[in-house]
A and B are shown apart, each in its own frame.
Chain A
Amino acid sequence: MSKTLFEKIWDSHIVVDENGRSLLYVDRHLIHEVTSPQAFDGLRLNARKVRRPDLTFATMDHNVPTSDRSLPILDQTSSVQIKTLEKNCKEFGITLFDIHSPNQGIVHVIGPELGITLPGTTIVCGDSHTSTHGAFGSLAFGIGTSDVEHVLATQCIMMEKPKTFEIKIQGKRKNPHAVTAKDIILSIIRKIGTAGGTGTIIEYRGDTISELTMEQRMTICNMSIEAGARAGLIAPDEKTFQYLRGRKYTSDNYDELVNDWRENLKTDSGAKFDKSFTLSVENIAPQVSWGTNPAMTSDVTESVPFPDEYGKGNPEEVKGVTKALQYMDLKPGTPIVDIVIDRIFIGSCTNARLEDLMEAAKVVKGKKVSSKVRAMVVPGSQLVKKNAEEMGLDKIFKDAGFEWRESGCSMCLGMNPDILAAGERCASTSNRNFEGRQGTGGRTHLVSPVMAAAAAINGHFVDVRELDLK
């Protein structure tokens, strides 16, 4: 019988089938400081062990400061949480990339970077953006803390089988440096809505996908959760195999594995999906979110919408948009390019890998950040930071007036000191523009790294298709 890629991975990980649910084996479990302490407490309370510490990897990313790491952490509650992870990893024998490790970074950046993420595997983490790893053809999804405890104790997860959702991405972008993977995924979310993928696993397919680099594929899979899906998948190809070759945790029999993946890890022709959606990318523009969820997004050439028009008579929608615009302090009809920005954040598991920084640096090189803007770059990992510094990207950003910081989640969610003040408006390469996400009262516009960089220089949004980005 023809099967989708998801079904193949699902079926090959079933330990037990029971009353319409499956106990699935977990190949890799990633943990971080925020969603794990209560899980370890639960283990201790019930005198349980970690079943497979060798398949469990930890780092600290959510609330680590991005300033000088030789200084003590001033926030005492953050410090306790970080120390708790150190203590738990030591007690249960789990590999930890701590704040001083050259491999520390955002958990979804370091997984692929270290070769922990592999095609055809199941990966879970107590973080919704675990969907990122799906770019490698792994079935990867976020779980709550109770499930973190469950996986620590059993190396399995009990789940009802999700539905399958095919998203075809087709066509050639006229200017792929200006219209990026971020613009592709925002365009999809804008069309299918933030609950469009609820209850499903998305497989991204189509000719555009094969042209994308691994880092771009990660940006797309990363925001599957913003479309409501638990996971996003892309079938692995030669680019995938090449990316992972020779990484720290890539196994000795890698070539043997590749042969197997090449043959098996794809959706069979004739396999059926429960749902399907197609996006043609020929004419898509750089995207800018104007509201308080990621579907509230427009082309950079458009204006802030009028709630009545946008809601098309749906009173809930009209009310939601009205409230969002109130929160964002935006007047309907204002051209997106007239929106004035106070802060720039280039970072997060969505857009803080080397290529993101390289692309943003092209815009910034030889220019100065607008005098009214505070701009920061937070590399996704220490390795990204090191590689970027070897290329001289740090100098380009610093010369322009950007802050060049240590790696972590930083202002994507503002658990560390990197936050917006109330009323501040930020062009951010992160994934969520929820109320207060980057700081209470802060206003977030989601954009690509090149759009954020151009906004930093100009002090307002600009259409990056007008720049020379080659």
Chain B
Amino acid sequence: MESFKKIKSIVTPLDKVNVDTDQIVPKQFLKLIQRTGFGQFLFYDWRYEKDGILRKDFILNDPTYKNSRILLARDNFGCGSSREHAVWALDDFGFKVIISTSFADIFYNNCFKNGILPIRVSDEILQKLFSTKSEIEIDLEDQTIMVDNTHVSFDIEPHWKKILLEGLDDIAMTLQHESQITKYERSHKI
């Protein structure tokens, strides 16, 4: 996994609550057996008209946000299905950071596994981010968001911070505990 340090970009404000993973990637695209190429399906039913033409009124289709790498969302983002395809699609489309007041648990976890940083902020800070038109800068090492010349700090679990900063393979990390796993297996009944 690629390591993550700083990102500077304008933000794409997706002004909706309870965005579920069925919207992020509709089910017809879950039949693929690879991890790549899901960006084209991101928010498919919101991005395209029936005939495949881009909908003018959907934020991701606004050329202003073409190079944005930070998605702003509202409460309970990523709820519903556990499909990791949702994160693969966001990543492939170009988003590396998602900021919201809250995320669904499985989605939140899936983000880190794919090098995406989900940041939880207060309502007040989210509001501020929704209203800015300028670029913001995320510094993971310092755990700060620089917005309109002010620094805002955010929390992140140390484990995830380390994984993202160093681009670690978490399976390899767990396999360092091989002897403990074997020991547990020997004493465990079921």
Contacts and interface: CB of A to CB of B under 8 A. Distances in A.
A268 to B, nearest CB: 21
Contacts of B167: none
Of the candidates B17, B76, B171, B180, the one having the most CB atoms from chain A within 10 angstroms of its own CB is B171
A269 to B, nearest CB: 26
Contacts of B87: 144
Contacts of A62: 30
Nearest to B45: A436
A429 interface: no
A198 B102 contact: yes
A434 interface: yes
Given A118-B190, A150-B171, A432-B22, A160 B157 contact: yes
Instruction: Identify whether the interface residues of A are mostly helix, strand, loop, or mixed.
Output: loop
Interface in A40-79: 41, 46, 48, 51, 62-63, 75, 77-78
A440 to B, nearest CB: 6
Interface in A16-48: 16, 18-21, 23, 25, 27, 34-35, 37-38, 41, 46, 48
A84 to B, nearest CB: 5
A434 B23 contact: yes
B104 A228 contact: yes
Contact of A158 (B170, B184, B189): B170
Interface stretch (B32-40, B60-68, B136-144, B147-155): B32-40
Interface string B3-32: 000000000000011101011001110111
B104 A195 contact: yes
Interface in A130-157: 142-147, 149-150, 153-156
Contact of B106 (A20, A38, A75, A230): A230
A78 B171 contact: no
B102 A195 contact: yes
A430 interface: no
A25 B188 contact: yes
A16 B31 contact: no
Please list the 5 inter-chain residue pairs (A to B) with the smallest Cβ-Cβ separation, ordered nearest first: A146-B113, A144-B84, A37-B33, A144-B110, A142-B82
19 contacts: A15-B177, A20-B159, A23-B177, A25-B184, A27-B188, A46-B169, A156-B174, A158-B159, A158-B174, A160-B157, A194-B79, A195-B18, A195-B104, A293-B20, A320-B18, A413-B27, A415-B28, A432-B80, A434-B22
